[in-house]
Structures are given as structure tokens and as C-alpha cells.
Amino acid sequence: MAKRNFMELLRAQWAQGHFLCVGLDSEFGKIPLSAHRRGRAGYVLNAQTVFSFNRTIVGATGDLLGAYKPNLAFYLDQGASGVQALRNTVLFINKVAPEVPVILDAKFGDIGNTNSAYARFVFDRLGFDAVTVHGYLGQEAMQPFLDRPEKGVIVLAKTSNPGAGEFQDRAVSITNGEAEYLTAVGVPTETRFGAGTTALCNLVAYQVMQNWNANGNCALVVGATFPQDLAAIRRIAPEMPFLIPGLGSQGGEAEPTVLAARDSNNQGMILNDSRRAIFSAKDGEDIGEVSRGVVLRTQALVAAALAQPM
């Protein structure tokens, strides 16, 4: 059987107009009481509740989405049974929505031999198609991920959280060649103490685009909450896929996000909506029906934005 290829799966979904990603950040404490699974003695089975909840969301939205993105933290929180629930979630998505890629949001980043173990865990043990990583340790350390050409390596550039700018907006030194490229694509650079500088998030985007992407399997995380940075990083990496968190509960809006992030093919986006997409149902409501409704409404907003002239 042919290996799943993240980029091929992703592009096939874009061709169908599927740009939305639901983040399965299935925090047990936020799952409605009516969805709790109980054992024979009446005790709540946390990890089984999480998997059952995910199954409901996926069953209701699998024909609409471009990707799913579970966050590792909410599964580790449930111990070994939570990791099994995560594995079962991937298997279920592969069964009912086999053409939809599945991303693990883990933000891994360590020395090379440790990353080799992470890569085996994510790709071989759990069966994910892609993973989020941070590049603080540099390309050499990230090579175990980058060397998996069929798997997606999604590198943090500008995250969606309010404190992202503490480091990501800091001016860092760049070479003359980097400064020439950034200036040519319309991203301002500065000169300090005789050296060119740009924001760290811009340099990360440049390095990933220019040097890390030999296998064509890299993407960038760029948050919807900073549309100006999103537009700048799109100029730096014009054809690279962007995983874009921050829609919905974090305040990101569909139209400015799409207009800033789309590539020259009017594609290139994995638009993530987590809490709004999975936790809008009140206790007793049909969770799948409510989730599908949220996705459809957001999908309509995205389609309207894409219909605007380039």
C-alpha cells in the first residue's frame, strides 16, 4: 500500500475548497457532561470520553475539512489511556475520512537523537501525517523530521498567543543576502550597528523556505491574530503552506486572515479553529450537529474571502 503523503493529501483537499482544520484540543473538563462515558460502576472514563467526543466531531465534519489537528497535551493529561485515545483518534480519522491529513500539534524541538525518537513516536507509533516543531535548535537538530519526505514538518514562525512578540518580534542580525531578499519582497529591514536586522519570525520563515525545505515537506505556523505579520511572512515564503491558528476564540477573523495568507493559487492555508469548532455545544445538545454548523459558517466566510480579487 502506498505511503500517505502529507503535501499530496493537503493539496487534494485545497482543490476541493477545504481549507479549514479542526483542532481536536479535546480537554476533558470542557466536554459536556452528557457526552461523558461511564464504566459499569458508574465512574467516568476520561480517555474513552475524549475518544468518543472526537469520534462524534470527526463523524460530523470529515467531509468538510482540510485537516484535523489534535494537541498532544490534552491526551498526555490522561496518561497512557490518553495516548491510546490519541492513537484511536488517528485510526478513526483514517477510516472515515481517509483523504484528510492529520497533524499532531506538539511543538517538538530538541537535539537530533531526541528528535529521532520524537519522529518515530509521532509518525511510526501514532501514524500522524505531520507535526508542529519549533526551530530554536536549528536545522541540524530538526533533520530527523525533515528527512521524512512524506511527512509534514510545520515550523513555528509567528504564533497566535498574545505574548508571541516577546521573542518573535525581536530584531535579529541578518546577512546581506537575507536583507536583499527581504527588501526585494517588500519586508522592511533595519540597520543597527552596521548590521542588517529583521524580526526573528521573518528570519525563521526565510530559513525554513530557503534552506530547510529540500524535500518540499515544510510549512509554517503563522497566527491569524497578527494579519500584518501574516502578510509579511507570505511575501517571504510565497508558496509554502501556512498552518494558521487563532480563528474564533482567540479573535482571528476569516476575511483579513485569508486575504493576508492566501498564495498565488488562492490556496496555501490550513485555517485552524479549535475551541469554537468543538466546544460550542451546550450540555444536552447534539455535539456533532453544532460542530458541523460552526464549520459550515466559517467555511462560508472563507469562501467569500477567497472570491475577492487577488
Residues 6+ apart with CB under 8 A from 5: 150
Residues 6+ apart with CB under 8 A from 40: none
DSSP code, position 111: -
**Catalytic one of 30, 69, 95, 107:** 107
The C-alpha atoms of residue 198 and residue 192 are separated, in whole angstroms, by 10
The count of other CB atoms within 10 Å of the CB of residue 165 is: 16
Tell which residue, 197, 213, 263, 208, has the closest CA to residue 234: 263
Q: In what order do the strands lie in the sheet with 190-192?
A: 171-174, 195-199, 190-192
Catalytic residue at 107?
A: yes
Which residue intervals of 24-137 are DSSP H helices?
46-61, 73-76, 79-96, 112-119
User: Which residue has cell 518573535?
Assistant: 168
Residue positions annotated with a catalytic role: 107
